[in-house]
Amino acid sequence: MFSLRLTTPFVVLLLSLLPHGLEAQDPTNTIALTPCYQNKVATYVNVAMLGTDSTKEILAHEAVHVAQAKWSIEHLGHCPDYSDHLLLLGDEVAAYCVSSELRIQRKDAEEVNYSTMMRLRNQFQELPADTLIAYWRRGCPKFAFPKRREVHGQDGNSRLVSEVFFCASDIGCLAWRPYVRLGDTPSGSLYVALSGSGEACLVTGMQAASLRVGDRLSCDWRVASNRN
């Protein structure tokens, strides 16, 4: 879903049109909504967004949700059961992948990838970042892996990326352990990029979301320590 505060008239209109039983859903932080209730599905869009440069993207995104709901009704006999957050995440990724085909016409691939990841993080705050990244990469590789480019981080020599790892904790992180130095302070979860020549460096979650094998990354690369 795209997030934006709605105008009061739209909220009142939307609540009056929602099928009975959906009134409890709060639409005030979305600009489009595709509810499914009792095997009926409909899309509601903030009229303020119509005619903007995002209109086609919004409609394309919600059209995917309509198709998903209709498939569930036809094949399973009921609306999608989104009590499973991973099922909802998979469907959202599919919708964002379609709308990104239009968004890419006015934004570059890196911006599309970054903004989509931020929207997914806002929508699925209960899920870990590596889960969101994995679903986005698997569900929409065209935009999850932008074209190879120079990626700038901390000062240091650039290297070609061979792998990217996520560790929930720096304690026991096998990918980072050989590169730990005396004086390093615990940092909690971390993302580790490895080079083809065996060096490693820490990157941000947003960098990790878009990095792919073959990107040239500039950061504080470390050589493995023999003491590990």
Domain boundaries, the chain: 8-144, 150-218
Confidence of residue 29 (pLDDT cuts 50, 70, 90): low
Average pLDDT over residues 49-69: 91
> What does the pLDDT average to over 185-211?
81
Of all residues in the chain, the percent with pLDDT exceeding 70 is 78
- 215 confidence band (pLDDT: 50, 70, 90): confident
Reply yes or no on whether the pLDDT at 6 is more than 60.
Answer: no
Of 184, 158, 162, 161, which Cα lies nearest the Cα of 171? 184
pLDDT above 90 as % of the chain: 21
Contacts for 166-174: CB closer than 8 Å, 24+ residues apart: 166/129, 166/130, 166/133, 166/190, 166/191, 166/192, 166/208, 167/191, 167/192, 168/128, 168/130
Higher per-residue confidence, 142 vs 42: 42
Report the range of poorest mean pLDDT among 24-38, 50-64, 160-174: 24-38
Please indicate whether residue 154 or residue 106 has the higher confidence score (pLDDT).
Answer: 106
Mean pLDDT of 67-77: 94
